[in-house]
Chains A and B, each alone.
Chain A
Amino acid sequence: MIHLLSQVFDTQFLASAVRMTTPILLAAMGGLLCSLSGTLNVALEGLMLMGAFGAVAGSFYTGSWLAGVGLAVLLGTLTSVLLSVTIIKYKANELVVGLAVNLAALGATTFMMRTLWQVKGSFIDPRIAPLPSWRLPLIHHAPVLGKVLSGHTPVVYASWAVVLIINYVIYHTAFGLRLRATGENARAAETLGVRTKKLQYVAFILSGALSGLAGAQLSLGLVTLFLINMTAGRGFVAMVAVILGQRLVAGVAGASLLFGLAEGLTMRLQGLRIPPQFVLMLPYLITIITMVLLRPRHPRPVLPEEARKAALEETP
């Protein structure tokens, strides 16, 4: 058993978990902003897929990973503008529109891949420039930490900065206060002159940009290719991370890390004698179990002695 554990949990595994966490973390931060503003962004999956496609396209045509990241963020943002206008301005049902965007993104990216590059399932090409891996100055040579935290893509480091910035914005700025007020009691905020719709737009658009960035990590960071439906449910996992994290920045980041670890574990266990189908199920299984465990619980009141006695007497 210990042998098995040490085989699984080494620095290599932890480093891959860190890499896997990034896309989920970025999308979840976007989902968190929407959720705090009182809307639901079901389209994280689709936005991320648009980003993944944009990253490969941008990188392929220019040979620059930076252009890839730029196009990823742009596509994610534009799609979320469309999404937010229908939801906020035209009051369309957020669930229906969000799911439609997911399906449309799947169709659009598949179609574009086939027409632009004449390939079937995936697009691999040496001209796609991957994200570089950067060494962190001091940490890189530290014994264990260096192997786990250093040598990642710029997007991974950016995601850490995003968490810190969002944490600051939500809890330490007037914008954050108003955003949270909007989500909890929009009418109260409105009567005080808060422009609630504007805040919701901002949240949606940021979530689009962040999901796009998440997609870039997926297609240019973890691998260097585009695959049909390559997000494979990570956007939905990010939605769950928002709820699991109790809509707190630290909580959501923690939940994302948990899912990242689960995904890393999936990769690792596939090499062992555990059926791969079971392993692939793990992240979702963890989700279900944690959701059940995390349900709100009320303390059961303890009856005082006098009441218990009376209760006993009356049962015949």
Chain B
Amino acid sequence: MSHPRYQPCLGGNELAKVLEMQGIVKGFPGVLANDHVDFDLEEGEIHALVGENGAGKSTLMNILYGLYQPDEGRIVCKGRQVRFESPLDSIAAGIGMVHQHFMLVPSFTVYENIVLGAEPRRRGSFDRAKAISRVRELAKRHDFRIDPLARIHNLPVGSQQRVEIMKSLYRGAGILILDEPTAVLTPQETKELFVILKSLARQGKTIVFITHKLEEVMEVSDRVTVMRGGKVTMTKATAQTDAREIARMMVGREVFLQVNKADLTPGEVMLEVENLWVADDRGLFAVKGLSFQVREGEILGVAGVAGNGQMELAEAITGLRPVQAGRIRVCGQDITGNSPFAIRSAGLAHIPEDRYKHGLAKTGTVEENAIMFLHNFSPITNNGLLNRKAITEHADSIIENFDVRPRDRKALAGQLSGGNAQKLIVGREMTLNDKVLVACQPTRGLDIGAIEFLHNRIVQQRDHGSAVLLISVELDEVMSLSDWILVMYEGKSMGELDARAAAVEEVGRLMAGIGKRGSSGKEASA
């Protein structure tokens, strides 16, 4: 173990619980986030923690990591009661956490991020050579493919996450907490992560794994704990349960992930993209001559492995990124190069990919976030003055209809749980009832109940005559919602498929860049 402060709380009796949390209670103003929660961990297990948005999963783990203090209850580590006043205490007890939002220093190298706070030294100065060799050794021992000298901001998300894991391992963590680690990963990266987790568990590490995807629970976990409304509703060996039961315990009712759509009755073209060229941040082309149309009452799903130009496409359409060549029309109006405000005014709503960067003002209240964009218009604003009553009504209706919890207009948007923040954005954009909806990763971080709800809302928008452009790396989502599927690969279209006739294998092949390219498009198959 590389860190001198490490006093392991594991070892000894194999069957003993490595850690127990007993009767944990934690309240925030207006919500009881953890309500007498019992939670325990066995050595070497992968323990899945699931539950609806706002069920209290992150809160429970933040308590275990010493970021929050529980109001009641105790933590027992290897038979000894402990108090974690700060992450320093939990790190010393061998606990590591990978947060939902990464905690890395972007301009630093991989090894600098890993050793920060526990740097090897030689005669008072920072011993870089030793830091690098230790990190190399760590990577080798756990079979991580990573260059210690790479800078974080040049790394893909999956690698950044590996750095986070290595930070904990470097400090000798025996218990590793991962908060929704797969939410930001591509399917390929997720597979790689699971290989890592399984191998860590084989080495005796204990892993807590928070996720909303039940197939991941079934695939990787040994035990599963389900939370609902701050309480634990079930803890079971994964082998003795199934996805249906877990879903029922989470939501409190049966969940159907099948969506029912009315037959396709497409109308006028509402969103038209013609030979679009868009550059990424480095000045390289990410979208290369893309063309497509979305008509009233239809959903065009854009499938593809993350990083094949989908983000740049969405940003170009919504006016967040300059267009190098080509045309974009919304409701027949040429909006190429217009401001986001003008584009929205032309009738386009947008659910952005990064909810904190483009979706919300974290330090604003829920109601302030709920009226963004609408604050330009009556009845929210009359003669330049905000209309309190209209704001209250509008915010309340979004909170009510989209089940944003807690039901508090004045709560800060930054304090909402990840999933509830997303529901607030989705609610705001969908109540605009615009003719065009561009939805990017709309269900990222949502629980299955919320996904079911959101999928139904998207389909409802389509049935009411909106043109929906759905961009998602979740192939299942694209397959089940879309009328047409456009597969993007390296900035180009690999072809447009009829969603009813498309096979998963075929789409998967196209996503990998194998197969026909060009316009086997709508015209051909329609």
Contact = CB atoms under 8 A, between A and B. Distances in A.
A interface: dominant SS: helix
A178 B116 contact: yes
Interface in B65-93: 67, 86-88, 91
A176 interface: yes
Interface string B195-225: 0000000000000000000000000000000
Contacts of B119: 174, 177
A82 B37 CA distance: 46
Contacts of A311: 275, 325-326
B103 A191 contact: yes
A314 B97 CA distance: 54
A64 to B, nearest CB: 33
B167 interface: yes
B274 A314 contact: yes
A129 to B, nearest CB: 37
A307 B289 CA distance: 7
Contacts of A299: 282-283
Contacts, number: 94
A310 B283 CA distance: 20
Determine the interface band of chain B, counting residues with CB < 8 A from chain A: 35 or more
Contacts of A181: 105, 108, 112, 116
Interface string B32-47: 0000000000000000
B117 A193 contact: yes
Contacts of A125: none
Interface stretch (A102-110, A155-163, A182-190): A182-190
A314 B327 contact: yes
Interface string A147-178: 00000000000000000000010001110111
B126 A177 contact: yes
Nearest to A176: B126
A276 B326 CA distance: 55
Contacts of A303: 277, 324-325
A299 B285 CA distance: 12
B285 A301 contact: yes
A306 B281 CA distance: 22
A60 to B, nearest CB: 40
A308 B126 contact: no
A285 to B, nearest CB: 32
Interface in A251-309: 298-301, 303-304, 306-308
B386 to A, nearest CB: 26
A192 interface: yes
Nearest to A169: B125
A194 interface: yes
Interface string B325-336: 111000000000
A189 B87 CA distance: 11
Interface in A3-31: none
Given A184-B106, A185-B105, A188-B105, A193 B289 contact: no
Nearest to B87: A191
A193 B103 contact: no
B103 A185 contact: yes
B124 interface: yes
A172 B103 contact: no
A194 B116 contact: yes
Contacts of A176: 126
Nearest to B86: A193
Given A181-B116, A192-B116, A310 B325 contact: yes
Nearest to B104: A188
A314 B275 contact: yes
Contacts of B118: 192-193
A179 B475 CA distance: 43
Given A185-B106, A301-B279, A310-B289, A172 B325 contact: no
B501 interface: no
A193 B88 contact: yes
B15 interface: no
Contacts of A172: 125-126
Given A194-B116, A310-B289, A173 B326 contact: no
Nearest to B101: A187
Contacts of A177: 112, 116, 119, 126
B385 interface: no
A170 to B, nearest CB: 10
Interface of B: 67, 86-88, 91, 97, 99, 103-108, 112-113, 116-119, 121, 124-126, 167, 274-275, 277, 279, 281-285, 288-289, 324-327
Given A177-B112, A307-B326, A311-B325, 5 more contacts: A181-B112, A188-B113, A191-B103, A192-B87, A314-B327
Interface of A: 168, 172-174, 176-178, 180-181, 184-185, 187-194, 298-301, 303-304, 306-308, 310-311, 314
22 contacts: A172-B126, A173-B125, A174-B125, A180-B105, A180-B108, A181-B108, A185-B106, A187-B103, A188-B105, A188-B116, A191-B103, A192-B91, A192-B116, A193-B86, A193-B88, A299-B283, A300-B283, A308-B325, A310-B275, A311-B275, A311-B325, A314-B327
Which A-B residue pairs are the 7 nearest by beta carbons? Answer: A192-B117, A188-B103, A301-B279, A299-B283, A174-B119, A311-B325, A193-B88
